[in-house]
Each structure stands twice: as C-alpha cells, then as structure tokens.
Homo-oligomer: A and B are copies of this chain.
Amino acid sequence: MGAQGLTSPDLNSDDALNALRAAIGANLSAAVDLPPPVPMSLRSAVSYALLGPSKRVRPVIVHLIAVGLSKIDPVAIQVGAAVEMVHTASLILDDLPCMDDAATRRQRPTTHRVYGEATAILASIALLNRAFGVLAALDIPDPSIRLRLIEILENSVGWHGLVAGQELDILGNVDGDRASAEHLNWLKTGVLFCAAAEMGGILRGLEADKLAHVRDFARELGLAFQMADDIIDRTATQQDAGKDVGKDAGKSNVVNLLGLEASKQACAEHLGRADNSLVLSGIDPAPVRALINRHFNPSITA
C-alpha cells in the first residue's frame, strides 16, 4: 500500500479523527433541526437520511485538506456539511425502487422504505438545494471564494458528475470493459471526493499547481473507495456492510471484471498513487493516512 501510516496507526490521530467526526455530526444535526412550518414528514425524512450512522468520509477529507487535525475549523466543517448533504441526496436517489431498489442503507431501512418514495425524493432535493445555500452563506469575507466553491460543487453533481454516473449505472456497462467500469467509478465516487478535496485546498489557500495534486490525490482515493465498496458488495454480509450487498452481481463493475485478488491489488495501487499525490501537494499526510488506515480493512488492501 505504500503509506507508512497503515502499519502503525497513530492513536492521537485516531482520537482527533473521532473528535472531528463528532463536530461534523453536531453541525449536520443542527443544520436539519428544522422548526415548523417545515412539514414534519419532510423534516423527519431529511434528518433520518442525513443523520444515519456514517463515517463522514467526505467532510473529514474537506477538513483534513483544509486545516488538518490540529483544530476544528467552523468554515471547513460547513463546507464538509454541504458535501455530505449532496452525498446523502445521491444515496437516497440511488436506493429508490426505480434505481437500485435497496432496502438497507447506513444500517437502517432506506429512506423511501420508511417515508415513501415521494417524501424521500423531496428530502433528496431539499438536501441538494440546501448544500448550495450553506456554501453561499459561508463566513468567508471574499464572496468570489464562495462562488468558486459553489461552482466546484455544481460541476461535481451535474451531467458531468454524479448524475451522469447514476444514469450510466442504470444503463449498465454496455462496453463491458475495465476502462468503462473505471470511468463509472470516477463519476459515481471520484468526482465528489475530488470536489471535497479541492474545496478543502481552496480553504487552505493552495495555488493551482498544489490544487492539481490535491485533485489527483482525491481521484485515486475515490477510485480506491469505490473499488473497496464493490469488494464489500461481493464479500461482506449485509450486517457488516450496513447496506444491501450482492446488488452488483452480474454487473460489469471493476471487481467483477478483474476478480477479487486483482481488485485488491488495484485498490492498493490506487491508494499508493493517492499517497504520492498527497505528498506532492505539500499537505501533512499523517492525518489522511490515519483516515485511510481506519477505513480500509486489511482484508481489502492486503
């Protein structure tokens, strides 16, 4: 895997990561603690979807790239919240009967199974929409930076990003080759990882060349995450995964095309390239390595 952090987990980083995750969770809870007249069913569905058990990987990445683990930064937390709202919105839709028809997500019944399809769709729209409101209202004096963050998020969601990825996933990998499968992984996971890391880099004030390395880092990490997800889909129990598994049987995803062992190898290679780009960006790699170490079960990358 190549990242030193993997063999000697940093317990201080672990504590700090827990504290960061708690701060992210508290911020998200406050963001959807909606008073009337917001309809009760809508408020409940939004909270249910957003506040389910989650590692909050994307908001953690925003914060690690923006400021690391030495302190909790309110603006980085807010930007992370916007990304998590978009991610949650995409999960709600992916799980719908007309898409993956999933019963379980974040270790609980999917949002539409609890609140019905219509309310689930509206909760998804509300979260996507609110993400832009959060970015527009950030406590950053220079409005052009807020606009830049909005444009990055918008670009990652739309017909060049998540939406295109989900559409291609519905159509199926018609070419059935690895390049198409990896392009799908990029659209479904990489683009939002990339947006999260780039927004973090902008908060840190990185110049264009360093930002490019940050994007490279996030692209490789996102591909590794999607690959690990597909490995889990094939190997884990539903209880371990916290969501439906075996949904990809017969799909031409990377794991099914390469086989399990080669996929684990490819996943480790993605993580290695992510680490190289991270080092080139000049950002302290230790906290990110701690995150990766915690997320990637040795059974996946070994």
- A residues neighboring B (CB under 8 Å): 34, 37-39, 41-43, 46, 89, 93, 96, 98-99, 116-119, 121-122, 124-126, 128-130, 132-133, 136-137, 143-144, 146-147, 150-151, 154-155, 157-160, 163-164, 166-168, 170-171
Contacts and interface: CB of A to CB of B under 8 A. Distances in A.
Contacts of A43: 159
A133 to B, nearest CB: 4
Given A136-B151, A159-B43, A125 B128 contact: yes
Contact of A171 (B41, B133, B168): B41
Contacts of A41: 167, 171
A167 to B, nearest CB: 5
Q: What does DSSP make chain A's interface, helix, strand, loop or mixed? A: helix
A55 to B, nearest CB: 24
B98 A163 contact: no
Contacts of A151: 133, 136-137
Nearest to A132: B132
A164 B34 CA distance: 12
The 5 closest A-B pairs by CB, nearest first: A98-B117, A133-B154, A143-B143, A143-B144, A38-B159
**Most chain-B Cβ atoms within 10 A of its Cβ — which of A34, A122, A160?**
A122
B147 A130 contact: no
B132 A38 contact: no
Contact of A168 (B39, B93, B166): B39
A121 B98 contact: yes
Contacts of A96: 117-118, 121
**Most chain-B Cβ atoms within 10 A of its Cβ — which of A124, A136, A168?**
A136
A129 B159 CA distance: 9
A41 B117 CA distance: 23
18 contacts: A39-B164, A42-B164, A89-B125, A93-B122, A99-B118, A118-B166, A119-B167, A122-B163, A122-B167, A125-B128, A125-B163, A126-B163, A128-B128, A130-B154, A133-B155, A133-B158, A137-B151, A143-B146
A116 B171 CA distance: 11
Contacts of A34: 159
Given A39-B167, A168-B39, A93 B121 contact: yes
A129 B158 contact: yes
B164 A150 contact: no
Contacts of A89: 125
A233 B10 CA distance: 65
Given A38-B159, A42-B163, A143-B144, A170 B136 contact: no
